[in-house]
Each structure stands twice: as C-alpha cells, then as structure tokens.
Amino acid sequence: MTIAYDLKASVRTIPDYPKPGILFRDITTLLGDARSFRCAIDELVQPWAGSKIDKVAGIEARGFIIGGAIAHQVSSGFVPIRKKGKLPHTTVSMSYALEYGSDIIEMHVDAIKPGERVILVDDLIATGGTAEGAIKLLRQTGAEIVAACFIIDLPDLGGAAKIRDMGVPVRALMEFEGH
C-alpha cells in the first residue's frame, strides 16, 4: 500500500521506551501533522465508505482519538472502551491477557445494542491481548464486529493473526518489524 509507506515517515520511533530493547512507535507525530492524520483516517475508513456502521469502539487512549475521527467520517456513534473503574455508569467488563498478567476493560452496558455493526479501533496492534478482550466484550453485548482497524501492526508479535483467527478482518496501514 503506497499510502502506508508515505505515512510511515510521520511515525516517530523512540528506542528503549518503555524499557530497554523496545522500539516505541509514537503516532503523536502523525496526529500532529494535519495531512498525515487526515490521510490515515481516510485510509482506515475507505473499505466501509457508504456502508452502515452503527458504532466505532475505540480502545483507551489513542484509540479514542482515532475512533472519534473515524466515527465522524462514517456518521456513526462512538463507544469508549476503558480501563476498569474509569466509566461513570453501569458497565460490562472483560479480563484480557497481558504479556505478564492480566487487566480488565469496560464499556457502558447500554453502549451497544444487539446486532449493531461495530468497527474496533486502536493505534497499534502488538500481541493482540487488548483487542481480543475488546472483541469479546463487544460480542458479549451482541455487537457484529465488522473489522478491527489499526494504524500500526507489529506482525512479529502475532496480534493481527490472533484477531483474524477470531473471525474479524484486520486493517492496518503499516507494519514495523520487531516489538
């Protein structure tokens, strides 16, 4: 994809963050460049232009930024998927696996109606644990998950493959080797 190659230049790489040996892929530089941000959003929604999408679900926190923009583009509602204890109303929750341990994500119990068509969004997919938990959470409420969209895929970590194995199409604009 030519656009992914052009967008890659707008992603900053920070070595040894958050720990030695990690190359952190920072999309704040992409978000800060109006042309790159607009291009990324347009490319992420392109396959669903003209389709009925009821909701876009964004994973905390960068998924909120991307998800809000995508929801606007496809004229849908937006659903925040947050870490446990951050939402004020009654929630449904799902535990998910981390590299070392687990965590819990939540969304409001009334955020999705059964049968609604949903696109899941986050900035990056690595091992896929958070996205897998979000898909299970959305399915628990009766959502039909149309796709999972990410700006960056780290294919060496297997997350996108894990999501595809769950029967959810994955769209990523670019890939980086390593972790």
Residues known to be catalytic: 62, 99
CB 123 within 8 A of CB 62: yes
CB 59 within 8 A of CB 134: yes
Residue the block writes with tokens 């900035």: 123
Q: What residue type is 70 in one-letter code?
A: I
d(CA 74, CA 54): 9
Residue 133's CB is within 10 A of a number of other CB atoms, namely: 22
d(CA 129, CA 157): 11
Sequence-distant (6+) residues with CB within 8 A of 150 are 121, 122, 123, 124, 125, 160, 170, 171, 172, 173
